[in-house]
A and B are shown apart, each in its own frame.
Chain A
Amino acid sequence: MIAILAIARATILELRRQRLMIVPIIGIVLSLLVLGAVLLLSDGDLGLQDRDAELAALVTGIGAAVAGTIYAAIVGSGLVAREITAGTMLMLAARPIGRWQIIAGRVLGTSMFLLAVLLFVCISYALVAMLTAGSTAPFDEPFLAFAYGAPAILLGLTFGIACSVQGKATAATGTAIGIMLFAWSVGIYADEWRDEQHERSFLTEEVRDKLESNDAIVGPIALGVARALPFWVFTTGASNTIDRHERYQFDEEYQRQLDAPVDTTKPGGMGMAYAGPAPTYETGTSDPPAGASPELDPAAGEDHVAPTIDPATGLPLIGSTGGPIEAQKLPDKPGQEAFQCAEYGGASCFLGYKDAWRVKQFERVKPMDEGLGLLLAWLAIPLWMGIAMLLLHRRRDLT
């Protein structure tokens, strides 16, 4: 144990002083610059919640999960291979310790170092979120970023080390990054495919038929590959974090509008099926079906259409068969996110089926998938570590 701790300590000292350490610092600075640019270029189009979403995407998706994991893989893939190339592995192996202890010490030291960096990034993000975006929930994304980032980074690290045990440092790094990027793209594809499957589940048959899909074979394969390669945890983690964040904002906005006094002098009103009876969905595109209600005429000052009011609740329905909302085609920003509703008058109207989709989409919080992804990731960490130990143990020479 003393040997493992000694190697871990030396590893932390080495990493702390390495130039590679500059990478996360540059990453953080660039993230803030990108964030600033997004806020500036948005020119007011983005609401506060959207800024939060941008931050969430930036930190959890790009920062902690993807960049962090790839960075960890780079660090990990260099650890053992570089040591073998440099000859220092021979010095360590000449000591009366097992080769597995060398791996364990390296993993322990690097893990502690990288998790400390991740924690630093998450705390920085929380501060940035509070200071720049005035976030209403500044602390949940950092937590989620850490919850997803930690296993993802450890996974990348142990995978990188496993890659490096049998090869040269450069080849090991290339292999590790290549497989990670492959896993990432497969994960994104699988996630999109799964979203689509979810959406299809509540579309009418007619609409489903209109949606072309060639994923009947590729989609399940991609999902299988993504699950087999637990790296997809960072893809799922990133998308789930953003989904969860948006749902939070959606709920918040919904509650705000529920609490707002209804301006009965204007048509419209809450257009969310969220609180009303279960909506039906008849359309699947933003274009009105033939023979539907007339389009809005912006020249006549029309900027919204009156929804059908549910007599039981007094709330407007969306997507009800033949109702006006599903047939609406707003002149600007058709099919935009629900958060633009405030731009359409005091008695806001959420936008047609898109929003209804979102309501349904938010039901797709994937606790099982999330749990499974995280579980697989945590299980894969000792697995890759064990593979690295076994490979190093079986390696005939260390030169």
Chain B
Amino acid sequence: MTESSDALLRCRGLTRTYRTRWWRPNFTAVDSVDLDVPNGSAFALVGPNGAGKTTLMLMATGLMRPTSGTATIEGHVAGSAQARRNIGFVPEKFQLPAQLTGRDFLRLHSSIAGILGAEQASRITEVAEHVDLADRLDDRVGAYSKGMQQRMAIAQALLTRPRVLVLDEPTSALDPLQRKLLRDTLRRAHADGCTIVLNSHNLAEVEDICDHVAILEDGKIVASGALRDMVERTTRVRVRVRGWTPDLEKTLTERVAIDAIHHDDADTTFTAAIKDEDAAAWIAHQVVSAGAWLFELAPSGEGLEDLFVRTITGSNATGSSTPPAAPTTDPEVGA
């Protein structure tokens, strides 16, 4: 991958192998991953379950030792005290100490980070307001809802004004309202200049918050870059025609990539990856020129989710291979 000069978090050849039973081969969760997280970006790490996202995230932050490879945060080796001063971390699964109040919990983390005295008190109030928990600071954390606990965890991560905020599945198991509150919190942190690294299955959320994305599959990065570029590169249209012929298919595939062809009784639908609007017009022209009727040619609404699915599955799924017969009557008459 190309090396970004302003990368805040940089991974080179990160590999983590787990030992399994002695009679089985070792399991490689993350395999020689190179990754650059640009400074000031909101970076999403997505991938199917078991792709190695959490392992990669933990190694990148120095919380797990890699089998090989290196990770640095602002040039400091991940895991070193200097690197850890720059990160705030929220793990995927956690259970805050239920017996502590929110204030006690934040006091613990700020004291450990060396924030003491009046600065500590003001910082605790500040982050509590940031996550909308200022009025619940003196309640025990055990009495918090799941969403409040999640926000409290983010508050502890924000306490030290970290350069990079690393969140592993922060919105899992949250209701829509809590998810929105959390997204707002992250947006504010990002607006304040904090680099965000987000591991999430919620791709709509990723699109909403993040500007960079890396797709991880079987421990390897299979796609990465600026989200806008990645999605735009593969703008797709959904086309529905009647009168599909093999010649038409051949003509279309000469210029555009077609997939997800589906034939029903009368119509054929497919999606096509296009690079610009001209390509869409060209498709329409070819359909009409072939004597078929064009019922629909619309942006497929594809976003990160489609990109994700196509990248992971290499989607070439097609419907029935037998196209419907060409229309024999004028559609307007036959309708």
Contact = CB atoms under 8 A, between A and B. Distances in A.
A2 B65 CA distance: 27
A93 interface: yes
Interface string A1-30: 011011101100111111000000000000
Nearest to A2: B111
B106 to A, nearest CB: 11
Interface string B89-108: 11111111101100011011
A3 B153 contact: no
Contacts of A15: 99
A18 B140 CA distance: 12
Contacts of A10: 97, 100, 104-105, 107-108
Contacts of B81: 96-97
B95 A17 contact: no
A396 interface: yes
Contacts of A170: none
B277 to A, nearest CB: 47
Contact of B63 (A5, A6, A18, A90): A90
A192 to B, nearest CB: 43
B84 A96 contact: yes
A3 B97 contact: no
A13 B101 CA distance: 9
B91 A13 contact: no
A333 interface: no
Interface in A57-91: 86-88, 90-91
Nearest to A395: B65
B88 interface: yes
Given A2-B111, A13-B104, A399-B58, A87 B93 contact: yes
A6 B91 contact: no
A13 B100 contact: yes
Contacts of B90: 91
A94 B84 contact: yes
B1 interface: no
Contacts of A94: 61, 63, 84, 87-89, 157
Contacts of A43: none
B99 A13 contact: yes
Contacts of A92: 109, 112
A363 interface: no
B288 interface: no
A90 B94 contact: yes
A319 B108 CA distance: 69
A87 B92 contact: yes
Interface string B60-95: 010111000000000000000110110111111111
A9 B101 CA distance: 13
Contact of B153 (A16, A91, A397): A91
B111 A3 contact: yes
A7 B112 contact: yes
Contacts of A90: 58, 63, 89, 91, 94
A398 interface: yes
Given A6-B107, A96-B81, A96-B84, A88 B97 contact: yes
A95 interface: yes
B55 to A, nearest CB: 8
Contacts of A3: 111-112
Centre residue among B58, B64, B112 by max chain A CB count within 10 A? B112
A2 B95 contact: no
Contacts of A91: 89-91, 94, 109, 153, 156-157
B100 A93 contact: no
Interface string A223-240: 000000000000000000
B116 interface: yes
Contacts of A13: 99-100, 104
B111 A398 contact: no
A6 B140 CA distance: 18
Nearest to A95: B112
B63 A95 contact: no
B112 A17 contact: no
Nearest to B80: A96
Contacts of B91: 87, 90-91, 399
B114 interface: yes
B113 interface: yes
A13 B104 CA distance: 9
Contacts of A88: 94-97
B95 A87 contact: yes
Contacts of B108: 6-7, 9-10
A6 B97 CA distance: 14
A96 B92 CA distance: 20
B89 A6 contact: no
Nearest to B105: A10
A90 B105 CA distance: 14
Nearest to B110: A6
A392 to B, nearest CB: 13
Centre residue among A2, A398, A399 by max chain B CB count within 10 A? A399
A88 B156 CA distance: 11
Interface in B113-136: 113-114, 116
Given A2-B114, A95-B109, A396 B65 contact: yes
B112 A97 contact: yes
B64 A399 contact: yes
B111 A397 contact: no
Contact of B94 (A5, A18, A87): A87
B97 A14 contact: yes
Nearest to B89: A94
Contacts of B153: 91
B92 A18 contact: no
A178 B67 CA distance: 35
B63 A93 contact: yes
A399 B53 CA distance: 14
A256 B107 CA distance: 62
28 contacts: A2-B116, A7-B112, A10-B108, A13-B100, A13-B104, A14-B99, A17-B99, A17-B140, A86-B94, A88-B94, A88-B96, A90-B63, A90-B89, A90-B94, A91-B91, A91-B153, A91-B156, A91-B157, A92-B112, A94-B63, A94-B88, A95-B109, A95-B112, A96-B81, A97-B112, A397-B58, A399-B64, A399-B91
Interface of B: 54, 58, 61, 63-65, 81-82, 84-85, 87-97, 99-100, 104-105, 107-109, 111-114, 116, 140, 153, 156-157
Interface of A: 2-3, 5-7, 9-10, 13-18, 86-88, 90-97, 396-399
6 nearest interchain CB pairs?
A: A87-B94, A6-B111, A17-B99, A86-B95, A94-B89, A96-B81
Given A13-B99, A90-B89, A93-B63, 4 more contacts: A91-B91, A91-B94, A94-B63, A94-B89
